[in-house]
Amino acid sequence: MEKLKALWKKYFSSVSAVIRASLGIAVVFLFVLFYALGEPVKLLRNIEWQAYDTVLRATMPNKIDPRIVIIDVDERTLATEGRWPLARDRWVALLENSFDKYGVKVIAFDVLFTEPDTSSGLAKLDELAKGPFKTNEDFQGKLRELRPTLDYDQLFADTIKKYPVVLCFAGSNDRSKALGELKLGMLPPPTFSQATFGNRPFVSLTIDGYSGNLPQFQTNAAATGHILPVIDPDGILRRVPIFIQYDGGYYDSLSVATLRTFLDNAEITVRKRDDEGDGINRFKHVVIGNTSPVRMDAMGTALIPFLGRSPMFRYISATDIMRGKLNAGELAGKIAIVGSSAQGLFDLRATPVGEVYPGVETHANMIIGYMDNTIKTKPLFEMTVSVLIVMLIGIPLAFALVKLNPLWSTLTVAGTALAYIGINLYFWGQNLVIPLAIPLLLILSLYLLNTAYGFFIEARSKKAIAGIFGTYVPKELVDEMAKDPDAYSTKGETREMTVLFSDVRNFTSISEGLSATELTALMNAYLTEMTKTIQAERGTIDKYIGDAIMAFWGAPVKDPQHAEHALKAAIAMQQQLKDIAPDFIQRGWPKLEIGIGLNCGPMNVGDMGSAFRRAYTVMGDAVNLASRLESLTKEYGVGILVSENIIAAVPGMVYRELDRVRVKGKLEPITIYEPVGELGKVVETDINTIDRFHRALERYRQQRWDEAEQTIASLSMADPARKVYKIYLDRIAVLRANPPGKGWDGVFTFTTK
């Protein structure tokens, strides 16, 4: 229980986190509701189909398949063989040449033969034979001789019977159209009947009318299949029904009928889903011969496995076959589908791979899908699977995004989206189509929700933080604090921190030499540069005291490296002063020098003051010591003085020990140091000089005046501008004349601030 409380506190310690998580979960359940209502709303459904189309186009092989050819009744065929409909003797020539000369194994017609052919003139001859030439034996005899060659329908029917020819029929379930109840031509026997499955109907596409072929063609065909497509609500052809139902019988599609014929009249086995207790059968899959099971949705439809943009099959002009212009055996063992690209006859469909796509190729694509086991399908219990996907992605993401910053939030969302796309593509490779667009929309919605909340709602928290701390805390720290505003307040507390004091040397003389306007401009320029330098190292400006600056590190944002950042800021301030000196001189201002004192230790920090005026500041002995160190920089002629506390906290620097002193207001002595530079960056000669001075200090504290004086005098000759050497030479002269005695600790006591 304690662990759960700790976890809750870690991730949901603020009201905003709870609100964001709650809103995120609400979004998840909103998406779940879309599925629970049955089918997602129209817009989401169309977006899902668009995502399906995109994946389909991206994964298509885009290679022409040689196993199927399209025999095309094109413009050249009509120009050569005659107007549409073609005389049936031309179809006879096509069939005979295709099978006998070119070796085609199966021909399927995506063309209906619903009316008799009168192009041979036989009907007119019969009329004459019954009229003016009724008694003319020569005419009657010649007619009997010519009849077999002029009865094109019978010739075509006899030719169909000789070869494995597959015909098609059309159907309609739209009662508002004439075809809705039309029964034209003859239907083939059904593939199976309702009685096969216990007189329980299947959920399927049902037609009320049909347009079939003439009985003499139908009875002689090896097989017949329907050519009824399924057009989705957005007007796109993506699916075909494997089976349709009419009057209790179930009829397979042209593609299935063609493949069955190609596989030497293979048997077809239909499997239904488990009984759902409503007295209705639902399709599961169908097995054609020894091919892999073809999975269907509950309605018995299957997604078309498009190979690519048309053409993905070889097109051959029908007239070239009718007139025998191909090489012998050129189409051996292939499946041929007869269709038309002629103007006015072209069966065009809008599909995911093209707005103008030949319908004949949809049958060809389906046949290849059966043969190669590439038919995609949606999972059983699609709605349940979709709801689980939404919840498994949405709920963890709703919680995760609560505590992530914008960068990590973006990376997490992108990573989740890419991972889900990868999973989706994996199942796609297994011929399973799982939702893509709606889960991605959910991920995007959660991301936008968190982003919008942060922008519109948490911006108020950021403004509140900026209102309290913005004038003296760097912008970067304000942004950091705004991520969790509840973690920051102005109430008093004790922390380990570092404080810095800086002061301009000889400021009184400088101010007396400038006008009020010039002095204001100079101080504004100086304080701006120093403030930028301090804030660049995560420092907080406490206050400006005339020309002096007070800053601290470690609050309001905790900083484990507060001493290091403060020391770097002090060194950078001295360097920045040198960098801006030429500009100051050019503007007629004096060159500025400053002294900086640094100390770290426990300090009280918070909103302090009176009922009339308050400020976020630091107090304590450690603060007072830093102020004293800044004052001592003038005594020792150095730019920066730090305490031994800084030495312990920042060991990666070279320091020059200057003295052990007792400052006003403190009884305990401290050792003070001048930072020289980073370890490894200070030249060897400077290191040697510092070491010599440190040895001289040891001799000084041991009251070995002559040895100390000799070393310091030597150092002073090499660097006469260094004030500390003169200080010690003067002290040695005084102490030699007035020995301090054996109990002397070498500490120098300052009696002024």
Bigger pLDDT: 163 vs 751: 163
Backbone angles phi, psi at 497, to 5 degrees: -145, 175
Q: Report residue 178's pLDDT band, with 50, 70 and 90 as the boundaries.
A: very low
* Nearest alpha-carbon partner for 213 in 203, 205, 221: 221
Rounded mean pLDDT, 399-427 = 83
Q: Contact 602/626 with Cβ under 8 angstroms? A: no
pTM, whole model, 2 decimals? 0.60
Our CA angle for 347, 352, 358, nearest 5°, is: 20
3-class secondary-structure state, position 607? strand
Q: What is the CA radius of gyration of the chain?
A: 48
Q: How crowded is the C-beta side of 444, counted as CA atoms within 13 Å?
A: 6
Q: Contact 88/156 with Cβ under 8 angstroms? A: yes
pLDDT for 254: 95
The shares of helix, strand and coil residues in the chain, as percent rounded to the nearest 5, are 45, 20, 30
What does the alpha-carbon distance between residue 443 and residue 420 come to, in Å, rounded to a whole number?
10
What does the alpha-carbon distance between residue 166 and residue 179 come to, in Å, rounded to a whole number?
23
What tens digit of pLDDT does each residue of 256-265 get?
999 999 999 8
Bigger pLDDT: 483 vs 7: 483
Bigger pLDDT: 144 vs 66: 66
What tens digit of pLDDT does each residue of 120-174 get?
655 665 565 566 666 666 656 655 655 666 678 899 999 999 999 999 999 876 5
pLDDT for 218: 94
Q: Report residue 193's pLDDT band, with 50, 70 and 90 as the boundaries.
A: confident
- Judged by average pLDDT, the poorest of 41-55, 333-347, 607-621, 681-695 is 607-621
**Is the pLDDT reported for residue 488 higher than 60?**
no
pLDDT for 5: 47
pLDDT for 354: 86
**Is the pLDDT reported for residue 60 higher than 70?**
yes
Mean per-residue pLDDT of the chain? 83
pLDDT for 457: 57
- Judged by average pLDDT, the poorest of 599-608, 633-642, 704-713 is 599-608
Q: Where are the alpha helices (DSSP H) in 513-613?
A: 516-536, 562-586
The percentage of residues in the chain with a pLDDT greater than 70, rounded to a whole number, is: 79
What does the alpha-carbon distance between residue 339 and residue 316 come to, in Å, rounded to a whole number?
10
pLDDT for 486: 52
Bigger pLDDT: 357 vs 274: 357
SS (H, E, C) 469-529: HCCCCCHHHHHHHHCCHHHCCCCCEEEEEEEEEEEECCHHHHHHCCCHHHHHHHHHHHHHH
* β-bridge pairing 68-73 and 314-317: parallel
What tens digit of pLDDT does each residue of 721-737 get?
999 999 999 999 999 98
Beta strands in 110-181 (DSSP E): 165-172
pLDDT for 726: 94
CA 339 to chain centre: 44
Q: Where are the alpha helices (DSSP H) in 668-738?
A: 684-701, 705-718, 723-737
- Judged by average pLDDT, the poorest of 375-379, 402-406, 566-570, 593-597 is 402-406
Q: How crowded is the C-beta side of 370, counted as CA atoms within 13 Å?
A: 29
Four-point Cα dihedral 512, 513, 516, 520, nearest 10: -100
**Is the pLDDT reported for residue 362 higher than 90?**
yes
**Is the pLDDT reported for residue 717 higher than 80?**
yes
Rounded mean pLDDT, 178-189 = 72
SS (H, E, C) 321-374: HHCCCCCCCCCCCCEEEEEECCCCCCCEEEECCEEEEEHHHHHHHHHHHHHHCC
Rounded mean pLDDT, 336-357 = 84
pLDDT for 18: 47
What tens digit of pLDDT does each residue of 539-574 get?
988 888 989 999 999 888 888 999 999 999 999 999
pLDDT for 631: 92
**Is the pLDDT reported for residue 1 higher than 80?**
no
Identify the bridge partners of residue 252 per DSSP, sorted by sequence position: 243
The pair of three-digit structure tokens given for residue 451, joined into one six-digit string: 């982003």
Q: Report residue 318's pLDDT band, with 50, 70 and 90 as the boundaries.
A: very high
Q: Report residue 107's pLDDT band, with 50, 70 and 90 as the boundaries.
A: very high
Our CA angle for 730, 668, 556, nearest 5°, is: 115
* Nearest alpha-carbon partner for 28 in 452, 20, 433, 380: 20
pLDDT for 68: 96
pLDDT for 127: 61
Q: Report residue 321's pLDDT band, with 50, 70 and 90 as the boundaries.
A: very high
**Is the pLDDT reported for residue 176 higher than 90?**
no
Rounded mean pLDDT, 287-314 = 87
Q: Residue with structure tokens 């689980």?
A: 388
